[in-house]
């Protein structure tokens, strides 16, 4: 698998925030290859350019005899030969050679996810299929030229701090192992921790809620994970029960999945709809905008309430804006204070992730 270096990604001088649902004119290296490091012009680039120039010259000097053959259907044009060669190395064929898809894991608005294995070593993987009309691109400057890259690919790489195939399981965000851009879909090949389950299934197996001490362990890891992801310039924007994996037996280990609603972190406000309705902060409904830090803290609060109460705190816009959910008397003062801070209706009064890390409940 190609995972040469993250230096090209980390050295990007400017990262545009322009997003587009339509088609893009991307460099061939991005469109046709499954390498998860960004393409960097190599020492043989000049030789390749000369070959292309010679190819165009040969094509323009095609003999009359070849033209007549092509008219009779007995010869292919250089362009037809190029298409034939492209088809022989199509990314879908490479995907099938490297990976085995087994069974569906889930399906949502951003695509379907299947379990599978990497054929080389039987490493468990998750395979996410995203229809092309659902793929969001971001424009960036690379080696002085603008190019387009699937935004979810970029976010996964940044959130994983450039972790490659040899670093599986070392980051809070699951590792992106490979990706394939096909004409009709984008395929992401992701680490699949085994054993693991999403937080919904984890709670259901324990009667829909967990004890305060266990919730504290999970919340501490969630706050730490959110801070790391933000430090890499990524705003997940959809922290919720479905997107939290609990890995292993015994003491739970938190992993973050699905960056399909994510975006590049910025200090200003966002004006497009956040991730999941029930986890949306009240300022979105009152102001039509929200910021990354306060929104992440709010979503952590909603997730925490669901772990302890066995249900989500809000179902409607009115409840999100007006209701103040309360835990029962069976929880400690620090636990209830932590939740109240996260679910403060005012984003300005909510603590930062850094302050949450220092809250007495987590220590």
Query: What DSSP state is assigned to residue 173?
Result: B
pLDDT of residue 254: 97
Burial class from Cβ neighbours inside 10 Å (0-12, 13-18, 19+) for residue 303 reads buried
Tell me how far apart the alpha carbons of residues 125 and 70 are, in angstroms, rounded to a whole number.
47
What is the per-residue pLDDT across 274-315, written as a single tens digit (0 to 9) for each? 999 999 999 999 999 999 999 999 999 999 999 999 999 999
Active site residue 238: yes
pLDDT of residue 167: 66
pLDDT of residue 362: 97
pLDDT of residue 249: 81
Tell me how far apart the alpha carbons of residues 169 and 175 are, in angstroms, rounded to a whole number.
7
pLDDT of residue 185: 96
CATH match of 7-37+91-191 with 3.10.25.10: no
Task: Identify any residues that bridge with 301 across adjacent strands, giving them in sequence order.
Answer: none
Cβ distance 302 to 279 under 8 Å?
yes
CATH T-level assignment (fold) for domain 196-362:
Transferase(Phosphotransferase); domain 1 (1.10.510)
What is the per-residue pLDDT across 197-242, written as a single tens digit (0 to 9) for each? 999 999 999 999 999 999 999 999 999 999 999 999 999 999 999 9
- The verdict on pTM exceeding 0.85 is no
CA atoms within 13 A on the CB side of 91: 21
Burial class from Cβ neighbours inside 10 Å (0-12, 13-18, 19+) for residue 53 reads exposed
Cβ distance 130 to 110 under 8 Å?
yes
CA atoms within 13 A on the CB side of 191: 26
- The domain limits of the chain are 7-37+91-191, 196-362
Tell me how far apart the alpha carbons of residues 32 and 61 are, in angstroms, rounded to a whole number.
29
Which listed residue (86, 166, 178, 238) is catalytic? 238
Residues of the chain with pLDDT under 70: 1-90, 161-167
pLDDT of residue 161: 64
């Amino acid at each position: 698998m190609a995972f040469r270096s993250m230096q090209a990604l980390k050295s990007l001088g400017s990262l545009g925030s322009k997003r587009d649902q339509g088609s893009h004119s991307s460099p061939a290296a991005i469109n046709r290859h499954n390498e998860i490091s960004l393409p960097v012009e190599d020492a043989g680039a000049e030789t390749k350019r000369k070959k292309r120039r010679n190819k165009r010259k040969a094509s323009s000097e095609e003999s009359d005899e070849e033209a007549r053959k092509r008219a009779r259907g007995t010869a292919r044009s250089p362009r037809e030969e190029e298409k034939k060669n492209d088809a022989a190395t199509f990314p879908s064929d490479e995907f099938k050679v490297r990976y085995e898809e087994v069974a569906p894991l889930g399906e949502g608005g951003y695509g379907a996810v299947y379990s599978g294995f990497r054929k080389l070593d039987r490493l468990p993987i998750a395979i996410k299929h995203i229809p092309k009309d659902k793929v969001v691109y971001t424009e960036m400057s690379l080696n002085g030229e603008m190019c387009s890259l699937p935004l979810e690919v970029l976010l996964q790489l940044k959130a994983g701090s450039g972790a490659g195939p040899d670093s599986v399981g070392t980051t809070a965000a699951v590792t992106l192992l490979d990706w394939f851009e096909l004409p009709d879909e984008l395929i992401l090949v992701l680490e699949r921790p085994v054993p693991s389950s999403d937080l919904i299934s984890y709670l259901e197996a324990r009667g829909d809620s967990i004890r305060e001490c266990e919730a504290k362990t999970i919340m501490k890891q969630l706050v730490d994970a959110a801070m790391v992801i933000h430090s890499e310039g990524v705003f997940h924007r959809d922290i919720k029960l479905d997107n939290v994996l609990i890995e292993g037996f015994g003491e739970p280990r938190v992993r973050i999945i699905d960056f399909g609603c994510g975006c590049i972190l910025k200090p200003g406000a966002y004006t497009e709809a956040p991730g999941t309705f029930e986890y949306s902060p009240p300022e979105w409904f009152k102001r039509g905008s929200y910021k990354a830090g306060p929104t992440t803290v709010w979503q952590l609060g909603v997730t925490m309430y669901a772990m302890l109460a066995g249900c989500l705190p809000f179902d409607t816009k009115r409840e999100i804006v007006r209701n103040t959910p309360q835990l029962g008397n069976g929880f400690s003062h620090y636990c209830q204070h932590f939740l109240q801070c996260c679910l403060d209706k005012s984003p300005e009064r909510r603590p930062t992730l850094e302050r949450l890390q220092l809250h007495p409940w987590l220590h």
